[in-house]
């Protein structure tokens, strides 16, 4: 007499449920016990995807291509034989779509700084699956521990411009779980802000006083020169 099938197991052949766009994946559906032949049907969100027949108890392999975000919904499979009324259903599997990150942008509210001034640097990749890990560099030396962001927000570090060497070239690096997809940002340089001389306001004040003195002297000439000229006639 034919035996009823056990509930099938649905597994990812790649042993991972994180996938990228246009990636090929394989799902294995297998009932450990029951009388063959067996018909396996793969479903996604209760919609039939594919059906395979097996003359024995070997696994059915379903090959898929992840073409859009809708392809990462929940998958299940059903196993049927002559005595399994209604079939037996497997566990569900959900893929997670990972997107490569875009080139991060390194920026600061100011590009000019004085020695001793505190500044900030922000690094942000506008596209890519979260979380994203950022690291900041000056030249080829990293100047921050890895900063992991779980939201679409910029990673920010605070710096103090304490010497001339702090005006070097800065960059940041971004990466996520997408393989071989590390991206570096644009270069950013702080420039030394021109410091106003303390004597400059004093020079301006003295210049204004001298100008007022000259104007006052010019206005006073008619009152002193002309009466003395008339008196001498």
- In tens, the pLDDT along 160-172 reads 998 888 888 999 9
* Burial class for 167, CB neighbours closer than 10 Å (0-12, 13-18, 19+): middle
Sole residue written with tokens 């449920």: 17
| Distance separating alpha carbons of residues 94 and 109, to the nearest angstrom | 42
Beta carbons within 8 Å of 12's beta carbon, 6+ residues apart: 25, 26, 27, 28, 93
pLDDT at site 229: 52
The 10s digit of each residue's pLDDT in 156-213 is 999 999 888 888 899 999 999 888 889 999 999 998 887 554 445 566 667 778 777 6
Higher pLDDT, 26 or 226: 26
Share of the chain above pLDDT 70, in %: 88
| Distance separating alpha carbons of residues 161 and 166, to the nearest angstrom | 6
pLDDT at 85 over 80: no
pLDDT at site 86: 84
pLDDT at 119 over 80: yes
pLDDT at site 103: 97
| Distance separating alpha carbons of residues 118 and 184, to the nearest angstrom | 24
The 10s digit of each residue's pLDDT in 212-228 is 767 776 777 776 655 55
Indicate the average pLDDT of the chain.
88
* Burial class for 124, CB neighbours closer than 10 Å (0-12, 13-18, 19+): buried
Query: 112 pairs with which residues across the strands?
Result: 191
Domains defined along the chain, listed by start: 9-98 (2.60.40.10), 105-192 (2.60.40.10)
Higher pLDDT, 136 or 191: 136
pLDDT at 23 over 80: yes
pLDDT at site 180: 84
pLDDT at 90 over 90: yes
| Strand pairing category for 191-192 and 112-113 | parallel
pLDDT at site 199: 46
Query: 148 pairs with which residues across the strands?
Result: 133
| Distance separating alpha carbons of residues 177 and 154, to the nearest angstrom | 18
* Burial class for 97, CB neighbours closer than 10 Å (0-12, 13-18, 19+): middle
What's the rounded mean pLDDT across residues 139-150?
Answer: 94
pLDDT at 79 over 90: yes
pLDDT at site 210: 76
- Band (pLDDT 50/70/90 cuts) for residue 150 is very high
Share of the chain above pLDDT 90, in %: 60
Residues in the chain: 233
pTM of the model: 0.61
């Amino acid at each position: 007499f034919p035996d009823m099938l056990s509930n099938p197991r649905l597994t990812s052949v790649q042993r991972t449920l994180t996938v990228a766009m246009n990636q090929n994946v394989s799902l294995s559906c297998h009932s450990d016990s029951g009388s063959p032949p067996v018909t396996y049907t793969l479903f996604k969100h209760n919609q039939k995807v594919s059906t395979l027949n097996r003359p024995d108890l070997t696994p059915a392999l379903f090959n898929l291509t992840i073409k859009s975000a809708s392809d990462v919904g929940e998958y299940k499979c059903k196993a049927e034989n002559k005595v399994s009324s209604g079939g037996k259903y497997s566990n569900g599997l959900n893929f997670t779509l990972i997107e490569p990150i875009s080139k991060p942008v390194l920026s600061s509210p100011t590009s000019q700084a004085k020695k001793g001034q505190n500044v900030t640097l922000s690094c942000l990749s506008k596209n890519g699956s979260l979380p994203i890990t950022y690291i900041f560099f000056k030249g080829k030396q990293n100047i921050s521990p890895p900063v992991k962001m779980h939201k679409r927000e910029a990673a920010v570090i605070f710096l103090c411009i304490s010497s001339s060497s702090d005006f070097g070239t800065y960059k940041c690096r971004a990466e996520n779980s997408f393989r071989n997809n590390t991206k570096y940002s644009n270069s950013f340089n702080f420039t030394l802000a021109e410091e106003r001389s303390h004597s400059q306001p004093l020079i301006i004040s003295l210049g204004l006083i001298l100008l007022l003195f000259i104007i006052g002297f010019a206005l006073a000439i008619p009152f002193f020169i002309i009466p003395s000229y008339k008196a001498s006639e």
